[in-house]
């Protein structure tokens, strides 16, 4: 009978909408956070490589590297304790950086997912690693007085 067919469409719409909307919003927030950190480590690697390669000596390079890491961490919301930085020079051997070598700078960090509590190491398990590498030729005047 046509009169007995009364549905609960508004209730179904609300329940199904919430079941689909909440995970979608969480996914968008997580992807935004991951993208922000990915841009941060890429920017940090590029700026570190350039600043260190163009520095006149090791003391200046260390000061510039510390400043760049602090600025990058604060600008992109990355925990400064979670940033790992690695340096390598090609050709291998000797000090790094050195005059005329090609320097590779690697920056890595972990992105903690939102709303994951730091209980029993869940925040470390539910995190996404991001990394970037930049290459720059060290000035042939590196360390020259």
Question: Which of 70, 64, 75 has its CA nearest to residue 39?
Answer: 75
Beta-carbon count within 10 A of 15 CB: 11
Whether residue 145 is predicted with pLDDT greater than 60 in this model: the reply is no
Whether residue 5 is predicted with pLDDT greater than 70 in this model: the reply is no
Length of the chain: 145
Q: Any residues with CB less than 8 A from the CB of 67 and at least 6 apart, and which?
A: none
pLDDT tens digits, one per residue of 97-144 = 888 889 999 999 999 888 888 888 887 888 899 999 999 998 787 776
Cα 23 from Cα 94, distance rounded (Å)? 52
pLDDT tens digits, one per residue of 53-109 = 888 888 888 999 999 999 999 999 998 888 999 988 888 777 888 888 899 999 999
């Amino acid at each position: 009978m046509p009169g007995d067919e009364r549905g609960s469409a508004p209730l179904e719409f609300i329940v199904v909408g919430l079941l689909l909307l909440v995970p979608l919003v969480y996914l968008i927030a997580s992807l935004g956070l991951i993208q922000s950190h990915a841009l941060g480590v890429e920017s940090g690697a590029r700026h570190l490589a350039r600043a260190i390669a163009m520095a006149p000596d090791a003391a200046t390079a260390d000061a510039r590297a510390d400043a760049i890491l602090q600025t990058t961490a604060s600008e992109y919301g990355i925990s400064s304790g979670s940033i790992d930085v690695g340096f390598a020079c090609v050709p291998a051997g000797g000090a790094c950086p050195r005059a005329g070598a090609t320097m590779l700078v690697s920056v890595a960090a972990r992105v903690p997912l939102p709303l994951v509590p730091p209980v029993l190491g869940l925040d470390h398990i539910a995190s996404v690693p991001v990394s970037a590498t930049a290459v720059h030729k060290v000035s042939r005047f590196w360390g020259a007085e």
